Structures are given as C-alpha cells and as structure tokens.
Structure 1
Amino acid sequence: MIYIIMGVSGCGKSALGAILSEKDRLPWLFRLHEVIERERRSCSDALVACSALKRLYRQILLHGSKALDSSSGPDGDVLPPTRPDVCFLFLHGDYDLIQQRMAARRGHYMKADLLRSQFDALEPPSEEENALPLDVSRSMTDMATEVLEHSVRPDLPYLANVVE
C-alpha cells in the first residue's frame, strides 16, 4: 500500500508521516528498500529521504530483511556494506547550528528539544559505506554542486547519472 499524505501547507502532513514511520520503523524501512530495489532494477534514478541514523537501518535500506539475519546473505555470505549504485548523502553539522535552524522553523513536527536524542543515536557512516559527507554549514547550492560533481566522476560509478 502506498499512502500519499496530502493537504494544504501547515495541515500536518510531515507530522503525521513522522508519527506513522516512528510507530512502524522496520516495515517502513522494508518498504523504502522495496522502492530502492524497484528503481535499481529498472535502472532509474531516485532520491529517497530517510534519517537512516543507524548502520542497521542503512543495511535494511540496501538489503531488506537479509540485514536482520546476522548480516549474512542467502549462502551465509557477509552482506556488503554498500551497493555500487546506491550512495548515502550524509548531511552532517554542528549540533548548535542545527538546533538554531530547528528552533527558527515554525509549524514543523520535529521540535528542537528532540535533536539531542537524534545526535545520540547517530552512527555516522563508516569509510566502507558508500557515503558522501556534506557539511550543512555550507549553502544548499554548494552541497548540490558537490553531489553533481561527485555523480559524474568516472572513478565513482555508484552515483553516475543520479541527476542529469
């Protein structure tokens, strides 16, 4: 089932989505994995937004329920930490900067006082995971430019053609 949460700005779309995903984290991650796999199989490009704070969550996004089976594949093989055509764009930054940005937002479901628990839960991607770290103190334009430059580098095929 695909749910499209709709309504005018400020009616609570993000808040409802957040509550539903928190109450249903594993099935939600499995559903996102299915979307990712569908797009990979069709050789399509896609952008998926998910906090993916923990390594296990990122592994579920990449490998689905196999990630829960002692990190091994169907033949007992260890699951790879990445897929060659999937890249995590890891937006990171200073707690105070992000907290100030959150406090300045109006009408968003995530309250600034909940940020500390997210920082505490965060397991930053390791070097073996396919992640491009992006410092959020930079402008959105600068970060987007870095992603676009990263996507066309021949030595980094996993992000090729993400944005044309």
Structure 2
Amino acid sequence: MSKVKGKGFILMGVSSTGKTSVGTAVAQRLGIKLIDGDDLHPRANILKMGQGMPLNDEDRAPWLERIRDAAFSLEQKSEVGIIVCSALKKQYRDLIRDGNEVTFLFLHGPFELVLERMKQRKGHYMKPDMLKSQFDILEIPQADEPDVIPISIEGTFEQVVERCVNALKPLL
C-alpha cells in the first residue's frame, strides 16, 4: 500500500525502449495505475506518425498538455500511477512538471539496441526510419533535472522491470 497520496511517475525515452511493456509490468508489480501516453495523442498526431512523418513541437503541444493533465488528475484523485510518455526534450518535461509533482524514469540504451527492438515490434505506428529523428531531438536529462532517474534498458526485460521497481519503491 502506498504512503503517497497522489503521484505521477513519467516513464520516458525514445520509441522502442520498452516504455509501455515495462510500464505495464511495473504498474502490476507495484499495484499502481498505468496510463499509456500514446492513447492521449490527438487524432492528427496519430495520422501523421502513421504516414511515417515525425511530429514537431507544435504537434506535440496538445499531447503534452494531456500528459500534464493526466499527472494532475492522479494527484488530485490521490492515485499513484505511471504515465508512458517519450518526454524527449527538457521543455516537454518542464511542461509536464508545471503544476505537478512528478518523477521521471528515463529508459535509455544505445541506438543499435533500440533499433533492433523496434524491428521486432508488430502493429505500432512508429516506423524504424523515424527512430533517428527521436534520437536527434532527445535531450538527455542533466544534473539540473534531479527528478529524473536513469534506467538502462540493457539486459533482460525482467532486469529492466526490476530496476524500475527498485527505483520507485522508496518513493511510494
């Protein structure tokens, strides 16, 4: 049982780092809510990505507002949950932080490993040739973002889940 009244954890990283599958497993292990940020994309974003076109900052703005609102809702309803969201740029993370008490878990790994995992995915609108654009815009969190916990995706799925669970337990 969580001691925290309401808290949002943002599971971030480029596409195919395992955000949704890891987030699902971590939420189940900890008995907390999971919100998949992909479900919060406006229709125009889904259509654009489905055509193989990367999103720009203007496209992402309404989506990030929905992520921020979902984190706010968790806090207001005294729920604890993980929100899956790429949050690639510091300005995106800052927008999500605005008015919220959130902690980010940053799933990261080398491009080659992420590309290999992306190629194994079925039925996702993100295409492998779009991965480079995500790495290009990724602003790796620095020391001025103390609410970000880096989590390596190297190793087995269970190892990554365990790293996340161990990182979150002291915060619950």
Asked whether the two chains share a fold, i.e. TM above 0.5, the reply is: yes
What is the aligned partner in structure 1 of residue 125 from structure 2?
109
- How many correspondences in the alignment? 124
Identity, % of aligned pairs? 33
What is the aligned partner in structure 2 of residue 18 from structure 1?
46
Amino acid paired to 2:167: H
Alignment partner of 1:33 is 2:50: no
Structure 2 distance, partners of 1:39, 1:14, is 15
Contact 2:106–2:150 at 8 Å: present in 1 too?
yes
Give the structure with higher Rg (CA).
Answer: 1
For residues 69-98 of structure 1, give each alpha carbon's deviation from its aligned partner in whole angstroms, at most 9, with x where no partner exists: xxxxxxxxxxxxxx6x42111111111111
For residues 92-133 of structure 1, give each alpha carbon's deviation from its aligned partner in whole angstroms, at most 9, with x where no partner exists: 111111111112223321111111111110001112321111
Q: CA deviation at 1:141?
A: 1.5
Contact 1:91–1:135 at 8 Å: present in 2 too?
yes
What TM-score, normalized to structure 2? 0.62
Which of 74, 90, 95 is the aligned partner of 1:60? Answer: 95
More strand by share: 2
Structure 1 distance, partners of 2:152, 2:126, is 21
What TM-score, normalized to structure 1? 0.65
Q: CA deviation at 1:46?
A: 1.1
> Runs of 5+ in structure 1 lacking a partner?
1-12, 65-82, 154-159
Alignment partner of 1:134 is 2:151: yes
**Which runs of structure 2 are paired with 1:81-160 in the superposition (5 Å)?**
85-129=101-145, 130-153=147-170, 160=171
Structure 2 distance, partners of 1:107, 1:42, is 33
| RMSD over aligned Cα atoms | 2.7
Amino acid paired to 2:87: A
What is the aligned partner in structure 1 of residue 24 from structure 2?
none
> Runs of 5+ in structure 2 lacking a partner?
1-38, 50-54
Change (3 A) 1:106 1:148: closer
Structure 2 distance, partners of 1:31, 1:98, is 26
Q: Which runs of 4+ in 1 moved over 3 A?
A: 13-24
Structure 2 distance, partners of 1:148, 1:102, is 24
